[in-house]
Amino acid sequence: MSFSDLGLSDELLKAISDAGYTDPTPIQAQAIPQVLMGRDILGCAQTGTGKTASFTLPMIDILASGRAKARMPRSLILEPTRELAAQVADNFEVYGKYHKLNHALLIGGENMSEQIKRLEKGVDVLIATPGRLMDVFDRGHLLLRDVKVLVIDEADRMLDMGFIPDVEKIVSKLPQMRTTLLFSATMPPEIKRLADRFLMNPKEITVSKPATAAETIKQLLVMVTGAGRDQTSIAKRKREVLRKLIEREQPKNAIIFCNRKRDVDVVYKSLERHGYNTAARLHGDMVQSVRMETLSKFKSGDVTLLVCSDVAARGLDIPAMSHVFNFDVPTHADDYVHRIGRTGRAGREGVAISIAVPSDGKYVDAIEKLMGRSIDQDPMSSTGGGSGSSGGGDDTASAPEKPEKEARSERGRGRGRDRGRSRKPASDDDDTKTEPAADAAAETTVNAEPVKDAPKTEAPAAEEPAAKPSRARRSRSDQRNDAGAMDDKDVVFGQSDQVPAFLKNF
């Protein structure tokens, strides 16, 4: 089957041919004719199968006739991230080159006034993230009563990011008579319930088992053991293993996924220090213009190693990306499928390697259960990722110096112990190292309590100052010296030196 068999216009077929495509993917072949007929779609397919084109292509033909009014878009596409929204906009530019359709982006991190000016001119296709869309709508710059086609893309990601309440509010503003297309890579029960509310008699299209990865992706797992218990040494060993994997695989281009944004910065700086000059980073805290520039450099090949958070795990289409490295095993099994789906796209071969530690075992088990298959062990699990016997990198080189550093740290703690303070030890054995210091601090605190409240011994009249300082301002050493000169059995704490008669009988 070719695109010409799907009922698309000649102008659109020419644009598809110019882009270098001849045959539709399975989800495109099934979805495009249904969308052209105006039927609701519930589509489920693994990443990299062409879901974006399955709704952008028929939408261009549907919107070819007609004219948009100011502030009243004729169609709406909701995306969970700015990058996905920008990518869909690129699709409309490529496939709609022979059509006079206007599209606009409503995403965070961009100048809102410029976006509103674009809306004032009238747009046929509005591509938006839910948060910015609601913001513009609440300000009165947007009307949604003329929307004929609604697309909810990456619905499961919307669910994960907590956008569903916003999506429900947006849908309530739309006309009842419309075509609704809902696409997702996975189909959890929550998405099914959402589809029942938003879609009318939808055509369900499932071209692969939910939450499966393409068969063209070679999946490997490197188990890092013997790295100690503290997170610093574990992360250090994982960075060493990552560098060894990069040297071994020699990827044409690769995405390196981290679970946390701060780890993205650490891994990026580590690669930069070790001479990987074509590395870059991408996460949600970066300015939108920088994020888009970084992605542009990655697509053009100026950047070959992109260290990022899950902001790049969904829907980003990087041509012929050879590798994906999971520096951290994702805590949600679905995220693993989306991450490795950045490679092995459109029938190409790809490699996905995950770096794990023993504590990641439950996450690996969940991933294998979801996919219905096990992940092959990488040979490096027993060499570079093991006890650290193999050389290479600053991590291994610094290991012999550790005992000397610990010894210096121990001597420093010994000098400070007489001051009643304890410091965190440099070694992993926190339990054994901190007990003496903690006991010393506790003993000082206990002994200081009665001293604090002990009365002052009567001093010679000649030496007594005219105005006595308050007890709160007297130094702890003065109080301790005064208390040492007293006989504890003659003192009743909380009273003055004169003890009432009725207390003397007790």
Q: Is 39 exposed, middle or buried (0-12, 13-18, 19+ CB in 10 A)?
A: middle
> What's the rounded Cα separation, in Å, for the pair 315 and 469?
72
- Give the pair of three-digit tokens for residue 79: 């995306």
Q: Which residues contact 108 (CB under 8 A, 6 or more apart)?
A: 82, 129, 131, 132, 288
> What's the rounded Cα separation, in Å, for the pair 420 and 439?
9
Domain count, the chain: 4
Shared domain for 430 and 366, answered yes or no, is: no
Indicate the Cα dihedral angle 264, 47, 96, 296, nearest 10°. 20
Q: Is the dihedral of CA 121, 124, 127, 133 positive or negative?
A: positive
Shared domain for 325 and 255, answered yes or no, is: yes
β-pair partners for 356: 223
Q: What is the 3-state secondary structure (H, E, C) of 121-164?
A: CCCCEEEECHHHHHHHHHCCCCCCCCCCEEEECCHHHHHHCCCH
Does residue 277 contact residue 225 with C-beta atoms inside 8 Å?
Answer: no
Query: Is residue 211 assigned to a domain?
Result: no
> What's the rounded Cα separation, in Å, for the pair 218 and 220?
7
Query: Is residue 386 assigned to a domain?
Result: yes
Containing 53, the helix (H) or strand (E) segment is helix 51-62
Q: Is the pLDDT of residue 407 over 50?
A: no
Query: Is residue 7 assigned to a domain?
Result: yes
Shared domain for 346 and 412, answered yes or no, is: no
Q: pTM to 2 decimals? A: 0.59
Burial string for 224-236 (b: 16+ CB within 10 Å, else e) reads beebeeeeebbbb
Q: What is the 3-state secondary structure (H, E, C) of 314-372?
A: CCCCCCCCCEEEECCCCCCHHHHHHHHCCCCHHHCCEEEEEEECHHHHHHHHHHHHHHC
Query: Is residue 39 assigned to a domain?
Result: yes
> What's the rounded Cα separation, in Å, for the pair 181 and 76?
10
Query: Is residue 490 assigned to a domain?
Result: yes
| pLDDT value of residue 65 | 87
Q: Is the pLDDT of residue 344 over 60?
A: yes
Shared domain for 405 and 420, answered yes or no, is: yes
Tell me the three state secondary structure of residue 76: strand
Tell me the three state secondary structure of residue 79: coil
**Best mean pLDDT range from 209-213, 312-316, 334-338, 431-435:** 334-338
Query: Is residue 45 assigned to a domain?
Result: yes
Q: How confident is the model at residue 471 (pLDDT cuts 50, 70, 90)?
A: very low
Shared domain for 99 and 181, answered yes or no, is: yes
Q: Which residues contact 446 (CB under 8 A, 6 or more apart)?
A: none
Does residue 183 contact residue 51 with C-beta atoms inside 8 Å?
Answer: yes
Q: How confident is the model at residue 350 (pLDDT cuts 50, 70, 90)?
A: very high
Shared domain for 423 and 489, answered yes or no, is: no
Shared domain for 425 and 333, answered yes or no, is: no
Query: Is residue 362 assigned to a domain?
Result: yes
Q: Is the pLDDT of residue 95 over 90?
A: yes
440 φ, ψ (degrees, to nearest 5):
-65, -40
Shared domain for 167 and 138, answered yes or no, is: yes
91 φ, ψ (degrees, to nearest 5):
-60, -40
Shared domain for 415 and 290, answered yes or no, is: no
pLDDT tens digits, 123-177:
999 999 999 999 999 999 999 999 999 999 989 888 878 898 999 999 999 999 9
pLDDT tens digits, 213-255:
778 899 999 999 876 667 788 899 999 999 999 999 999 999 9
Shared domain for 410 and 321, answered yes or no, is: no
Print the domain residue range for 441: 400-452
Shared domain for 421 and 503, answered yes or no, is: no
pLDDT tens digits, 166-203:
999 999 999 999 999 999 877 888 888 989 999 999 99
Shared domain for 193 and 72, answered yes or no, is: yes
Q: What is the CATH classification number for the domain harbouring 34?
A: 3.40.50.300
**Quick one: the chain helix, strand, coil %, rounded to 5?**
50, 15, 40
Q: How confident is the model at residue 105 (pLDDT cuts 50, 70, 90)?
A: very high
CA proximity to 91, closest of 46, 63, 59, 120 = 59
Query: Is residue 365 assigned to a domain?
Result: yes
Place of tokens 């969940």: 366
Place of tokens 């009273």: 495
CA proximity to 211, closest of 231, 175, 184 = 184
